[in-house]
Amino acid sequence: MLRRIPRPHALAGYVGESLWLLPSLAVTGGILAASALAVVRGGPALFVSGTDSARQVLATIAGAGITVTGTVFSLSIVVLEMASSQYSPRLLRNFLADRGTQTTLSILLGTVAYCLSLLRTLPPDSDTAAFPQWAVAAAFLLVLMSLAALVYYMHHISQSIRVESILADVEQRTLSTIRDRYSEADTVGVAAMPPVPESAVRVPVDESGFLQAVDLAQMLVVSQHHDLVVRLRPLIGEHVVTGTTLAWLWRLDGGELDGARLTDPLNDLVEVSFERTLQQDVAFGIRQLVDIAIRAISPAVNDPTTAVDAISHLSVLLSALAGREIGPHVLVDASGEVRVALDSCGFADYLAAACDQIRRFGAKEPAVLVALLELLTDAACRARDDERRKAVADHIELVMADAEREIVQPADLDGVAVAAERARRATRGDLLERIAGSGP
């Protein structure tokens, strides 16, 4: 079966994050600019005095530009390989979408394309009146821009591979998704998923992959147009297989429904691809930070400090989730009838995703466990209901159970116990304990 063309916003996201778009536009722009300036004859002899010297200069610029571009490409590949092996393979998309790298490559390739295009337009003689002096002068300006871009790139790439920069970038991207996905309303409680009646019709998935996004607004329009209710089965970020259930459809009046003719329209409103993204998938951002943490505490790396830093960024995300209204996304029509429902991970699910693997792999390292307990303390302080505080309390006990089993030195265990008691106080509602930062 042919792969569906991505929906417009998904296609725009892919193109915007691609490494080839801006350089391709720059090459095209360089060719067009050279063709346009080449027809402007004459002008003061600012840099060259004739055709021969201009050819030599332009050929030198083009050759040097190709060499430098190759170096930039090589450095970019090294960065991608290092990010994949040292941090997480799920971070590669973030580096490919880096605007600094795209802009640098665009300036360099645009300069090369401009000089090569200008070479073929130079007149065969050295007639100053017929010589495109302004076009050659523009080539020198592009050289200066290329030098500035190269210096910027060296600084930018050295900053982008710092683990602090990577962690902060993932945190900010995930926080943006959290703000888009979940409300920070003062009211507690969310609408429940509607039960699936026996008369419901199953709509199958037409493509295997990860569910990246769902256009709920347009799905509401479709459901109202056909007078039906749509309940989606998979969660955002879940892997789906062709032929399995995408959604259940039914009419409010219990009437018969032809689901076959709605299969394609509904599949067109979901984006399924070979990889997860942060477009609507909060858990994917948590997954990236957890990957960095557990790789840092692996025996091959043995870098608990990086793991502690990753946990600190996870604490920001869990604290944001703890104070928000998390639950199914249920859309209703003007009369208040449920029309579209998409289930969501709960706070306990996000908490488990952030803590479980780090706790298991880092059970022998007190610093990692203390950082994890600090995360749980922050989450408990921000938790908006007793159910979430109970989930935090359960994880505190799991951390202490693993610590008591794995840590041999009593002095090391004492520090973990102190942090655990502080976290327990937070779950009991002693918010001043965390704010003051005092001991138990």
- Structural domain boundaries of the chain? 8-161, 177-187+281-325+346-436
Burial of 331 (0-12, 13-18, 19+ CB in 10 A): middle
Of 288, 414, 313, 439, whose CA–CA distance to 371 is shortest?
313
Q: Kindly report the pTM of this predicted structure.
A: 0.86
Look up residue 385 and give its amino acid. Answer: D
Burial of 377 (0-12, 13-18, 19+ CB in 10 A): buried
Largest CA distance in the chain: 89
Instruction: Please report which residue ranges of 281-409 form alpha helices under DSSP H.
Output: 282-296, 304-322, 347-361, 366-382, 386-406
- H or E element, residue 229: strand 229-232
Fold classification of 177-187+281-325+346-436 is 1.25.40
Look up residue 371 and give its amino acid. Answer: A
Token digits of residue 334: 């003007």
Report the alpha-carbon distance of residue 378 to residue 373 in Å, rounded: 9
Burial of 72 (0-12, 13-18, 19+ CB in 10 A): buried
Report the alpha-carbon distance of residue 361 to residue 372 in Å, rounded: 12
Token digits of residue 46: 């600012």
Report the alpha-carbon distance of residue 149 to residue 280 in Å, rounded: 34
pLDDT in tens, the chain (440 residues): 334 445 555 566 666 667 788 999 999 999 999 999 888 876 666 666 677 788 888 899 999 999 999 999 888 888 888 888 888 888 888 887 888 889 999 999 999 999 999 988 887 765 555 678 888 889 999 999 999 999 999 999 888 889 999 999 999 999 999 999 997 765 444 578 999 998 899 999 999 999 999 999 999 999 999 899 999 999 999 999 999 999 999 998 877 888 888 999 999 999 999 999 998 999 999 999 999 999 999 998 899 999 999 999 999 999 999 999 898 999 999 998 999 999 999 999 999 999 999 999 999 999 999 999 999 999 999 998 899 999 999 999 999 999 999 999 999 999 999 999 999 999 988 754 454 444 33
11 and 5 in contact (C-beta within 8 Å)?
yes
